[in-house]
Structure 1
Amino acid sequence: MKHIFGGPWTLIKLELLRRYLQFFNTALQNQPSAENPFHRVYIDAFAGTGKCDVKVSDGATRTITGSALHALECTPAFDALHLVELKAAHARELRALADSHPERNVHIYKDDCNGALKNILSSTNWKSTRGVLFLDPYGMSVDWTTVEQIAATKALDVWYLFPLSAVYRQAAINFSDVVPSKAASLDKVLGTTDWRNVFYIERSTTDLLTQKEAVIKQRESSPAEIASYMHGRLCTLFKGWVSAPIILYAPNGAPMFSLFFAVSNPAPRAIALSKKAADHLFEMLKQQKIGRHQPDNELDTQQRLF
């Protein structure tokens, strides 16, 4: 079954993830001690099939390795992998992929990400476990309460591809166009109702026909400002460190996602280690050392990231 997904930004996020997974397992394979190392886990909340066909230019597609397969093939290996996928056909392909790697301890969950993550997080001993969680949602499907549970582990490093375009589409320019269902979705993904006063300001206007004055609320926040707002929200939860938002663009220049890296472990040593690796990867991205194999139009997209 073909899994057509994403665009140029997909190549960027997957390369960052692949490199970080290798760093993470290498760095933690003998911690806290060679005799009693941490149990290392990978959690993928939207695991797909292990492969995906990405649109790269003019409608052309290219088959690439997905996040789940990158994690399965990571060396050193994870002690356990938890792969969540709601679509039945994709979950079956994940099962076949796991069966082709019998040496790996893989758990497949055909479930909504919020429910599955709640079960995984609550059943894991985080005192002896460290892990990486990849949040790459379909639209606005990750509840803020789920993000709270992730941060509360104090043991997970999180790559979160925040659905920036979905948020600013739901948050219409005129607040009167934000119907209750859209407002509820924004409340759920942002974890607050404060966005109503942060994104929107009141303006006085005069009706040209009746000359009557009225007060309207209009969104003033740009996509970059919405990404910055989400950064602040994440900083209230993750007591380790949260990277500044990296905005990923479509080939036409439209901002699509905001990529965050968040460290839930508040220990200074853990923060320093994870931050050093993430900063190194972001610097590589700036210098075009990640994704050089991509077509020119995709490299142009990367140049607009910073």
Structure 2
Amino acid sequence: MLRHQVAVRRRQVHRPDLQPVDRVVLAALSRLLPRQRWTAFFVTPATLLRWHRQLIARHWTYPNTRPGRSPVGKGLRELVLRPAAENPTWGHRRVQGELARLGYQIAASTVWKILHHAGVDPAPRRTGPTWRQFLTAQAHTILACDFFTVDTVLLKRIYVLFFIELATRQVHIVGVTAHPIGAWVAQQARNLLMNLDQRAAELRFLLRDRDTKFTTAFDTVFTAAGIDVIRTPPQAPWANAYAERWVGTVRRECTDRMLIAGERHLASVLDEYAAHYNGHRPHRSLDQRPPSPPLPPVDLNAARVQRRPILGGIINEYSQAA
């Protein structure tokens, strides 16, 4: 007994870290010594008794073999979830019938439990498209808008209103102001539709958040042009992800790297950046092409590539020399 305690002590630096086998040995050997000799242990008698109870419990514990159906395997569980995800109108009985046709015997109640535990709603609640599906299918007819702010060197906050075409990712900076009142915002909407001219007839939806700066007059400008205004859910910036992503891009590449003096300075900077973004900056979702790419040169020669710095040199553009 003493030898085993010494061996345990030698393995430790501070408090003894007993392994399960050590507890079993000490609990078993405690029954061979008189109770008054238990004070020789480096653990309390209560601890020895608890270890002994655990030893007995483990000895008489048998595997839990509950009656009923055998659990569904991982492969079959994934097979149940797949058609439910790919067919939003299918309920649990429709899924069970399709699996039965393929030769898989599984009860309808089991299918329901699998779908329920996976968080899959019943068919009537998931028949509508998700935001991602809606935006992808209707991208060529959707225009999104939003505000973002820039603080000047004198800590004056300036608001920027922009629009982005989801299909082409082309950005329109329509206004910069320190006081975005409702009348000003509505006038910027009219200016945008005038600039879009014939392209405005192809648009069907305007996506915006619930910012109070977007007034009824602002919405009326678009509804009068046959464009439905869709408000995103409250506190859900991901629902207007294209606009949110562009705000992050312009901040990282432009406004966070400059000191802005005032409204006129910011308007000039953003006009130059928007021209770069729309005409030169490659976009991954557009196969590394800019939203409005220039015509490719006829003769490609690496030696003739020239660099043109913009925005004071914080961004570089490259093109074929004339």
The TM-score, its normalising length taken from structure 1, stands at 0.28
More helix by share: 2
Instruction: Name which structure has the greater RCO, CA cutoff 8 Å, separation 6+.
Output: 1
The TM-score, its normalising length taken from structure 2, stands at 0.26
More strand by share: 1
